[in-house]
Amino acid sequence: MKNIYTISLTALLLFGAAGCNKDFLEVRPTAFLTEDQVAKAAEHNPAVVAGSIAGIYTLMFQTETGGTTGADDFGQKAYDIFSDFLSGDLALTANGYNWYGGLTRLTSTIDYTNNNNYIPWRYYYRIVRSANSVIAQLGGNDVTPELAENKYMMGQAKALRAYGYFYLAQLYATSYDPTAKILPIYTDPSQQNQPRSTTDAVYALIVKDLTESISMLGAFTRTAKHQINKYVAEGLLAYTYAAMGGNANYLLAKTLTADIIANGGFTLNSRAETVYTGVNTIGGFNKLSNPSWMWGVTITSDLGLNLVSWFGQMDRYTYSYQWAGDRKGIDKGLFDKIPSTDIRKGQFDATTGSAYPLAPTGKFYDAGRVTGGARYPLDDYIYMRVDEMYLLNAEACAKSGDDAGAKTSLKALLNLRLPSTTYVDALSGQALQDEIYLQTRIELWGEGKSYLAMKRNKATIVRGSNHLSFVGVPIPYNDPRLTFSIPQSEVQNNPFLNK
């Protein structure tokens, strides 16, 4: 049976005003339309689909989009916390409410009945399903809409579908093994349960979607940073190629990140923009107006965020769990590797006897800076910034044998963080790659990128002294406990999963 969509009265009126055939509106006077009818309507009036694409972006910051009412279920930033814990770079230093206890003890990821496995799965497949619906409304997978507005929405929808599959592939597969079966693929909203496809097939779809998205979004001028444009799609594709590995893929990632750096119009964070120092109001990462931010969303009171939010879990100045007892900070071992002359050292609370040891009080914080004072979060969410493209470019250069290019990109960033970067000149080969990985962990701490870097670099993590478990224990990137299990609901409800 074909999917049926509910179209708003406003959209139908707009469509009628566009001069469509009268008979079309008489087919389903109840305002319920098939996907073919929606596609036909959208050919004349993009407003028919615009609400659907906006709804996908809303999923990225809404609470309960992972299917639970938990305080750890609030869209993309929730899973940035999940993955940062698994990478070891985010330390749970006090466990007052136990929202992340099982995750940090590495017990929940191997228990397929645990909700920690369910909510990322449901969230990302909800993104996929919603993107599939938009793609179907715009004519289907093989269509490039003629109307510019529709082409731009198709480009965004394909990028969002790729985004969903990319994170699923990262979180639910221990490594990039082309022949391993990892995930069911759905590319049409009418598809029934599917078996798991191979890694190669999943990544092929991601690459195809993002490549087509980049082409469709070439002339797109977005109206807000929560929308995916060409450069965000290029960033997602660069991450995809880097995760796949191999010289040819590193060269592709290098080219994509170079284009973003040269032509995207974003600037690296200055020293003043990198950390709150007490004498400025622009330092840190809480405003979408930051010129380095490529992708993020403005948080307003209209959104109704409360205790359950990213700032609620990460910020001592927000009235929620970080303030109340689920304390989180940078891994002590990683913090100790930051030189005292590095401006980023000040992003964390290193005050002796602090109740919030090594918390990110100078990086992520409510602007009021009153401990527990912000009842309703109004600070913006970051998904991607250009600084990470410099680091990813450096990594791709180094891994493809271009040490000179790697040093150029790395030093461009570090020149704004350190008083001297001459030490980089002496690095080469693996030593250079190791330094890039370290700087990626420091620069992007708390932004959900450390886990991706850990897997790309096949790293072994060793937790520092401020963790509550596994202190000093080496844990390799492909330890099954660092990867989520396909949840019980999927195992029980999809009879084709293992066929």
Question: Rounded to whole angstroms, how far apart are CA atoms 392 and 405?
Answer: 12
With beta carbons less than 8 A apart as the criterion, state whether 152 and 71 touch. no
Question: Rounded to whole angstroms, how far apart are CA atoms 172 and 119?
Answer: 12
Question: Rounded to whole angstroms, how far apart are CA atoms 149 and 142?
Answer: 17
Name every residue whose Cβ is closer than 8 Å to that of residue 480 and which is 6 or more positions away in sequence. Answer: 109, 110, 174
Question: Rounded to whole angstroms, how far apart are CA atoms 103 and 85?
Answer: 7
Q: Tokens at residue 223, please?
A: 């109206």
Sign of the torsion formed by the C-alpha atoms of 488, 493, 495 and 499: negative
**Tens digits of pLDDT across the chain (499 residues):** 334 444 343 333 333 333 333 333 333 333 445 666 666 776 767 888 999 999 999 999 999 999 999 999 999 999 999 999 999 999 999 999 999 999 999 999 999 999 999 999 999 999 999 999 999 999 999 999 999 999 999 999 999 999 999 999 999 999 999 999 999 999 999 999 999 999 999 999 999 999 999 999 999 999 999 999 999 999 999 999 999 999 999 999 999 999 999 999 999 999 999 999 887 678 999 999 999 999 999 999 999 999 999 999 999 999 999 999 999 999 999 999 999 999 999 999 999 999 999 999 999 999 899 999 999 999 999 999 999 999 999 999 999 999 999 999 999 999 999 999 999 999 999 999 999 999 999 999 999 999 999 999 999 999 999 999 999 999 999 999 999 999 999 999 999 999 8
SS3 readout for the chain: CCCEEECCHHHHHHHHHCCCCHHHHHHCCCCEEEHHHHHHHHHHCCHHHHHHHHHHHHHCCCCCCCCCCCCCCCCHHHHHHHHHHHHCCEEEEEECCCCCHHHHCCCCCCCCCCHHHHHHHHHHHHHHHHHHHHHHHCCCCCCCCCCHHHHHHHHHHHHHHHHHHHHHHHHCCCCCCCCCEEEECCCCCCCCCCCEEEHHHHHHHHHHHHHHHHHHCCCCCCCCCCCCCHHHHHHHHHHHHHHHCCHHHHHHHHHHHHHHHHHCCCCCCCHHHHCCCCCCCCCCCCCCCCCCEEEEECCCHHHCCCCCCHHHHHCCCECCHHHHCEEEEECHHHHHCCCCCCHHHHHCCCCCCCCCCCCCCCCCCCCCCCCCCECCCCCCEEEEEHHHHHHHHHHHHHHCCCHHHHHHHHHHHHCCCCCCCHHHHHCCHHHHHHHHHHHHHHHCCCCCCHHHHHHHCCCEEEECCCCCCCECCEEECCCHHHCCCCCHHHHHHCCCCCC
**What's the Cα-to-Cα distance from 6 to each of 25, 32, 133, rounded to whole Å?**
13, 5, 12
| Multiple choice CATH, 55-272+383-493, 1.10.340.30, 1.25.40.390, 2.120.10.30, 2.60.40.2470 | 1.25.40.390
Sign of the torsion formed by the C-alpha atoms of 90, 309, 347 and 228: positive
pLDDT of residue 315: 97
Question: Rounded to whole angstroms, how far apart are CA atoms 56 and 427?
Answer: 44
Intervals of CATH 1.25.40.390 along the chain: 55-272+383-493
pLDDT of residue 35: 64
Strand pairing report for 326-330 and 196-198: unpaired
With beta carbons less than 8 A apart as the criterion, state whether 24 and 36 touch. no
Question: Rounded to whole angstroms, how far apart are CA atoms 418 and 24?
Answer: 64
Question: Rounded to whole angstroms, how far apart are CA atoms 420 and 455?
Answer: 30
With beta carbons less than 8 A apart as the criterion, state whether 460 and 475 touch. yes
pTM: 0.93
pLDDT of residue 42: 67
**What's the Cα-to-Cα distance from 419 to each of 403, 427, 482, rounded to whole Å?**
22, 18, 36
With beta carbons less than 8 A apart as the criterion, state whether 92 and 313 touch. no
With beta carbons less than 8 A apart as the criterion, state whether 27 and 37 touch. yes
pLDDT of residue 37: 64
**What's the Cα-to-Cα distance from 235 to each of 208, 254, 387, rounded to whole Å?**
14, 11, 11
φ, ψ (nearest 5 deg) of residue 461: -95, 150
pLDDT of residue 28: 34
Question: Rounded to whole angstroms, how far apart are CA atoms 239 and 217?
Answer: 18
Question: Rounded to whole angstroms, how far apart are CA atoms 187 and 115?
Answer: 26
pLDDT of residue 34: 61
Q: Tokens at residue 77, please?
A: 């930033």
pLDDT of residue 48: 83
**What's the Cα-to-Cα distance from 236 to each of 223, 243, 375, rounded to whole Å?**
20, 11, 34
Question: Rounded to whole angstroms, how far apart are CA atoms 101 and 327?
Answer: 11
Question: Rounded to whole angstroms, how far apart are CA atoms 359 and 348?
Answer: 5
φ, ψ (nearest 5 deg) of residue 148: -55, -45
